[in-house]
Structure 1
């Protein structure tokens, strides 16, 4: 029986790994197609138009500048290309005077690293310049003294054009990252509400753990939204999505603030319920917050459904007075209710309301 269970476990693991591999391939397929198409164009220009028999740099620069990274902003690609072209040009210039060999490689790398660190604060720029410079120094010389620099420039121009004309639709990545964040919000708040309903510290700890897990997905969402905006600004095929992406960016900023508020609330709740007293009024309040967050996610998926979340949050803001939620509440309970006020304000601002207008909805406190 144990052998059968182990065999079943191995099969399940293989299936999970296969699914993960399939998901990785599907996620990277637009980038792969973009890179392959750009490499074909770069090679064709360098080989058949310019006449370089082996345009190695045209291929390698295209691949390294585009890459499979999540951050595919044109600015990042341009920075990478600038570093690569600088490294190739310096290496070819020094090779004219000193030739090729080990000590020449050492000199080229020292010069390129010093120049790279001097002109750009990002260390990745110096590395991007050093790698192709080493390649140029190690490879045999070409008849054209600066032929490989020309190949690098061709590859850079093609890579930037590919970013605009063969976009990866990074907005899809941003949507996936947003869903991951809101899923964790829902799971975390559900556990926090259960903790308040049942006075269950374990549920409160579970909710806090899940809400703490939002940090990495929020960072991914920020990178994907910034990339989507940058690409949409230069791509004629994605420019029409700019308004939606700007709304997504505003919501991402609000979600980042909301995650901090939710973690603070979850910590307070986990402490409160240790006394074994259920708190259905506060649970109802957070249940309404969870419902509003679900509506926000639904509205982001469906542009036609607008205004529902804002209306729900506005109604909730008007009730955020401890005397209205739980008359005669102890100080510790009232403090937990007050923590919801900045959360709701930040969410309303993320949905397009002015901060002063959102704060004006809150009932005054005595």
Structure 2
């Protein structure tokens, strides 16, 4: 999301954004499938190393980056892809919850074909290595961050990545909502209350879950967002998938039938129904949404990641829609009003 130069969740080429391919579930999940989640005091990501959650420092920016890069990462209280200080989400340093981890635990994702938002198998998303598309990682990892042309969550300078303006970081939303949207203090994919990360309720941070579940992260091959089987990505409750929210609000979040950035076609990323779960959408339209091959935040054409039109990356959408998409002044994943 963000404005002007904000690349949002986007990326180029094969960047799927929040989503993935095949049966990759990315953001969403059904029933008790909670993204990063789990229950109890499971603490997420965080940690050090060159792969920091979605963001942090070094060449693997994942969700974030440095300077004023909000949303995907950044520094200070920037919550989302990662970063430093209290940055929560993709990982980072200090009290960064979500994503992160040590060693091969990569904020957005992990290694091999099980990445970030997803769970096991071909679930792509949150990050990882190789051609893993989503929250960040190395090589051609696009979506939340990465290198070279990998835009999305972060970047440098005033690239707001996931965020927008004021304290709305990440996909957007309302008030202090950070991440894919939602309401209240929901950080990350959305959700209610202080849910941070993929969604969920309560203090769930990171991929989702309930209670004090933080991040996906952890150590070893613990993949953020992850889960098991078909329970993948941000999670949430009921039919709220991806960024989450309540009811059938999927993806960036919001209320009612607002799906991800929404849209139709084979747009993948945020999630939705069909084989590509995650943020929301219908049929094969997963993720931020958009039409045609739009993967990620939304937009038309080959827009991957955040979306937009043509090669446009970032929040995508139309009009003043920033971040995950939406309409009107909807920032980030969605939300209501502003």
Please state which band the TM-score falls in when normalised by the shorter chain: under 0.3
- Larger RCO (CA under 8 A, 6+ residues apart): 2
TM-score (norm 2): 0.23
TM-score (norm 1): 0.22
Task: Flag the structure with larger Rg.
Answer: 1
Higher relative helix content:
1
